[in-house]
């Protein structure tokens, strides 16, 4: 009997300490934008307003300040309800803001115990405010449109895994650099265009969605992603595309120093399915499959080499090559490695197996 009474007492104490908030008594921010204009920082927040039943409508708050630290308090001064950050799913940086550095904001997010490590960060071409206003106007009831867009492209398409936790890991880790999704305005819509590259917390360049598929494969994220391959019909003198889906991929790195120049050999093995192809291409024929396979191997080898040259030109290491070399080298020195980074001889070798050509075949 005493044991039961003790358990009831503990349960009563726990319920007494519970800190809760009623959903229609707080302003739940679900997306936040940061811009810089005329020396001032602009903060933009999207929050849902709840109608009768399950219906919601996105609304926007915006404010400006000379620092990033008090943007949330300034937003609160414009809100009739207390602002709640616990449901924040995406932080969008305008391109000019990202060029100046996002380190202060990211550190603030990392210290905020209300915000989860799966929070998505992203970069907008132009102003973050403009893109957030477009999504609030076009999506009608979906305040999580941009974060859901990122998540589904990570799961099923060409985006590598990324969130606040991974950004911090790549930012603070030796021999690697972070990257984020990159959005652009297309007419009255917002479109995912690839990934933004960062060096020391500053935006320095971007790659398109086709190349972000290669980044995904090179990071050994083994499944999903689409790759378009150009093929030509010499009889009709026209060019078309074969769409291939990655079923499984594996990358293996080998590091050697041959003479004075370091050599990085990248062996890539892809198992792919043909999702679509032009009607004039006789895909079931063995010769056609061989042609597509060999063309894809050469195309990816060239694309990987060009992509790596771009990374070296921008002095970024989103693949963590430095971290890999550190694991292979005794007394590895980060500064010395990146002084030689542009001199690395990149040698990609690609093997493709086409194991499906569609239900019709």
Q: So what's the pLDDT on residue 54?
A: 59
Number of other residues whose CB lies within 10 A of the CB of residue 20 = 5
Query: pLDDT tens digits, residue range 140-171?
Result: 566 788 999 999 999 999 999 999 999 999 99
201-248: pLDDT as tens digits = 999 999 999 999 999 999 998 788 999 998 876 666 667 888 999 999
Q: Which helix (H) or strand (E) holds 172?
A: helix 164-172
Residue 178 scores a pLDDT above 90:
yes
CB under 8 A, 24+ apart: contacts of 326-333: 326/174, 326/175, 328/255, 329/255, 332/175
294: Cα separation from own chain's centroid: 30
Residues 6+ apart with CB under 8 A from 238: 232
* Cα–Cα distances in angstroms (integers) from residue 165 to residues 85, 111, 162, 177, in the given order: 17, 12, 8, 13
Task: Extract the runs of DSSP E, i.e. beta strands, from 178-237.
Answer: 179-186, 189-199, 202-208, 226-233
Length of the chain counted residue by residue = 361
**Which has more pLDDT, 298 or 84?**
298
The 10s digit of each residue's pLDDT in 60-114 is 899 999 999 888 888 888 776 777 787 899 999 999 999 999 999 999 999 988 8
Q: What is the pLDDT of residue 59?
A: 84
The backbone torsions φ and ψ at residue 206, rounded to the nearest 5 degrees and listed phi first, read -150, 160
The pLDDT tens digits of the residues spanning 270-281 come to: 999 988 888 777
Mean pLDDT for the stretch of residues 341-360:
85
Mean pLDDT of the chain: 87
**pTM over cut 0.85:** yes
Numbered ranges of CATH 3.30.300.210 in the chain: 222-356
Q: Is pLDDT at 50 greater than 90 in this prediction?
A: no
Report the distance separating Cα 147 and Cα 182, nearest Å: 12
Closest CA to 281 of 335, 348, 235: 235
Distance CA(359)–CA(361), nearest Å, equals 5
Average pLDDT over residues 120-133: 95
C-alpha span between 139 and 135 (Å, rounded) = 6
Architecture of domain 222-356: 2-Layer Sandwich (3.30)
Using alpha carbons, list the distances in angstroms from residue 54 to 57, 85, 134, 305.
10, 21, 23, 51
Give the Cα separation of 323 and 308 in Å (integer). Answer: 16
The per-residue pLDDT for 165 is 95
**C-alpha–C-alpha distance, residues 77 and 75, integer Å:** 5
Is the pLDDT reported for residue 303 higher than 70? yes
Q: Rounded to an integer, what distance in angstroms lies between the CA atom of residue 169 and that of residue 115? A: 17
Distances (CA, A) of 136 to 92, 132, 133, 175, 210: 14, 6, 5, 39, 28
The whole-number pLDDT of residue 123 equals 98
Cβ 203 vs Cβ 218: under 8 Å: no
**Alpha-carbon distance 62 to 92, whole Å?**
14
């Amino acid at each position: 009997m005493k044991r039961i009474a003790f358990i009831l007492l503990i349960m009563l104490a726990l319920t007494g300490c519970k800190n809760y908030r009623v959903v229609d008594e707080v302003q739940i921010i679900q997306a936040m934008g940061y811009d810089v204009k005329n020396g001032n920082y602009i903060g933009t927040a999207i929050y849902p307003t709840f109608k009768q039943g399950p219906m919601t409508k996105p609304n926007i708050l915006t404010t400006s300040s000379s620092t990033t630290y008090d943007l949330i308090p300034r937003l609160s001064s414009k809100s009739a309800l207390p602002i709640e950050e616990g449901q924040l799913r995406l932080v969008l940086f305008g391109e000019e803001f990202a060029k100046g550095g996002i380190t202060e904001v990211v550190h603030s997010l990392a210290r905020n115990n209300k915000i989860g490590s799966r929070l998505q960060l992203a970069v907008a071409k132009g102003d973050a405010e403009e893109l957030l206003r477009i999504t609030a106007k076009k999506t009608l009831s979906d305040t999580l449109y941009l974060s859901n867009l990122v998540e589904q492209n990570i799961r099923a398409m060409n985006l590598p895994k990324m969130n606040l936790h991974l950004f911090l890991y790549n930012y603070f880790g030796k021999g690697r650099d972070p990257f984020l999704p990159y959005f652009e305005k297309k007419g009255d819509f917002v479109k995912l265009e690839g990934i933004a590259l960062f060096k020391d917390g500053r935006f320095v360049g971007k790659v398109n969605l086709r190349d972000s598929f290669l980044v995904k494969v090179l990071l050994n994220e083994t499944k999903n992603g689409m790759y378009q391959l150009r093929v030509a019909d010499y009889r009709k003198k026209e060019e078309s595309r074969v769409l291939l889906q990655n079923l499984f991929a594996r990358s293996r790195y080998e590091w050697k120093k041959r003479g004075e120049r370091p050599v990085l050999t990248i062996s890539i093995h892809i198992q792919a399915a043909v999702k679509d192809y032009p009607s004039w291409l006789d895909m079931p024929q063995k010769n056609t499959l061989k042609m597509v396979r060999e063309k894809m191997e050469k195309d990816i080898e060239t694309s990987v080499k060009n992509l790596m040259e771009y990374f070296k030109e921008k002095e970024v290491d989103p693949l963590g090559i430095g971290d890999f070399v550190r694991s292979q080298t005794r007394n590895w020195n980060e500064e010395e490695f990146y002084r030689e980074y542009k001199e690395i001889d990149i040698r990609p070798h690609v093997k493709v197996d086409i194991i499906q050509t569609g239900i019709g075949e």
